[in-house]
Structure 1
């Protein structure tokens, strides 16, 4: 059976759009169909892998539809060419309505807590099959090892100039050394569905419901990691951070809370360390390509903060704090050797 002509027409319209709400791995384009607006989701070409991913997003959305009303509804999935058509959710992005640093309304915090409750309640047996080498249910140590292995692979990528940039900025060859010592001490918890990318640009405040977007990085793993990843990416105000943490503990079943507070600290340290490794190159590109000195300095300050937050996670420990000037000079050396890639 062929692909419906109207579906291909929507895809072609999406490809013709110059503007789109683009994430790192996908372009999202609002397109008008005969029945109203839809969201056409097309993979971004050449996106370098920076995260774990185990399922086709469409297969996951199809599986969780009956269990997670806060996920967007999948309307069509195509293999060749690859694209999805999802419901278009009218509303404001959380990042636009309430950016980092602004207090969130109680209703939004309640919706986030309810979303975690939905995730924790999804029957694992109804999820798509995980890869054959994926950690067995409850093997939190092996799950954490996968996370560390990912960061090590990112650190090892690139040419000699990128390796020098990492050295100049104090990122050790094995940025996971200290955390690796703590993996075997993680408590055993049953695996659950993880969104693994809940941040302000992936939440839409709709008229009748809050919707959580972008499921391409969803995993089956340690539910405490999902909380840590979310807290890191949301940059909550301190009281909000405490409230969401307490709300998660309230909705999580007892078996998912075994040793969770200590392990939450482990995963939050991991997120700081991963952010520094990934963003060293991302932010170096932004600094090198910045059009104005103040823009360049702002990115350098941000990268300095990321590196400073990660430093306690590294071996050998260092008391050296890089200034924005240090970072700009290191980026200049990197870009002079073709490092902007």
Structure 2
């Protein structure tokens, strides 16, 4: 067995070789909402050191993108989560080196599910079965091995407290910090300042469920299909909490149709039972709709901000109309959860967006 000193020396060598690799030009750049991912071929010394083929293997360098904070995080560093997760879920890419603001990860060369089954297209049954099994295996990762949680984190089983914390976080860290810049847009859609806190307290208490590891962002672009299995990547938004929150975000962000949603819920419950985790399915029928409503409600804020921020320089009428359509779609899904009496039509939304761009929008782009 390798000694701790030898392991540290190996890690330092990986870090140095990785830094040298990153400084070279080339590779492929993939940009998401939270990180840029630079895919580069491994040099043969680094490949051999990592136990990879000397030719053809790649690494992924992840760099956070400065952007509005729109999702809560239990842990500030994805690398700390991956150190635990990759021990229990062997298909999850390991973090190979941590450079502080940037990390180097294993790269999975399979096909992205978003390319195999684009949004709006059906997801293959075998992939849905694998996804359900993934949730059960992630739930089985020992909480005692995960990094320390914030001091005010709800205790395991306090599902109601967990939901209310998520709602309050959205209001404090998403709505209020961006009020000066995006407040006119929020107001144009009739979204009250306390909409999320009110959402959390309007709901009756949830069924207590033990907490477990949650990915919280399992959508098609984060699922890699490899041969006969899948790999779920990008763990920067992982949480420790009510498992129904993970299922709800998955159902919404995958954009399943109604039949697929129903099928996925059954597969998820069956996978939990098969893993001996029936306790995590208690209250499923009554509480899952609450978390789905929450996902629609909290998504309104990033959806409106992103639609506004993605306007091109000198936008034309059709640019404003397309962005307003996306905004209206998001607000319509959230209208009932947020208690909105009405949703502006697309013409009114377009006018509101043009007004915003002419004042706060243009000035801060």
TM-score greater than 0.5 by the shorter chain: yes
CA distance in 1, matches of 2:359, 2:321: 21
Local SS of the residue matching 1:193? strand
Local SS of the residue matching 1:86? strand
- Alignment deviations for residues 280-301 of structure 1 (CA, whole Å, 9 cap, x no partner): 1211223465855444433322
Q: Which moved more, 1:29-38 or 1:164-173?
A: 29-38
CA distance in 1, matches of 2:18, 2:197: 49
CA distance in 2, matches of 1:184, 1:239: 28
Task: Specify the alignment match of 1:102 in structure 2.
Answer: 121
Q: Tell me if structure 1 keeps the 8 A contact 2:225–2:231.
A: yes
Task: Specify the alignment match of 1:5 in structure 2.
Answer: 16
Q: Which moved more, 1:289-298 or 1:125-134?
A: 289-298
Task: Specify the alignment match of 1:152 in structure 2.
Answer: 171
CA distance in 1, matches of 2:314, 2:156: 46
Alignment of 1:49 onto 2:69:
yes
Q: How does 1:74-93 map to 2 (within 5 A)?
A: 74-79=95-100, 82-93=101-112
Alignment of 1:330 onto 2:352:
yes
Q: Which moved more, 1:252-261 or 1:226-235?
A: 252-261
Alignment of 1:266 onto 2:290:
yes
TM-score (norm 1): 0.91
Q: How does 1:136-147 map to 2 (within 5 A)?
A: 136-147=155-166
Q: How does 1:234-253 map to 2 (within 5 A)?
A: 234-252=254-272, 253=277
- Alignment deviations for residues 133-173 of structure 1 (CA, whole Å, 9 cap, x no partner): 21111111221122111221211123545212211122111
Structure 1, unaligned runs of 5 or more: none
CA distance in 1, matches of 2:326, 2:314: 14
- Across the two proteins, how many residue pairs are aligned to each other? 335
Task: Specify the alignment match of 1:286 in structure 2.
Answer: 310
With over 3 angstroms needed to count, the CA separation of the structure-2 counterparts of 1:43 and 1:161, relative to structure 1, is: closer
Q: How does 1:154-303 map to 2 (within 5 A)?
A: 154-158=174-178, 160=180, 162-183=182-203, 185-252=205-272, 253-287=277-311, 289=313, 291=315, 293-303=317-327
Local SS of the residue matching 2:262? helix
Structure of higher CA gyration radius? 2
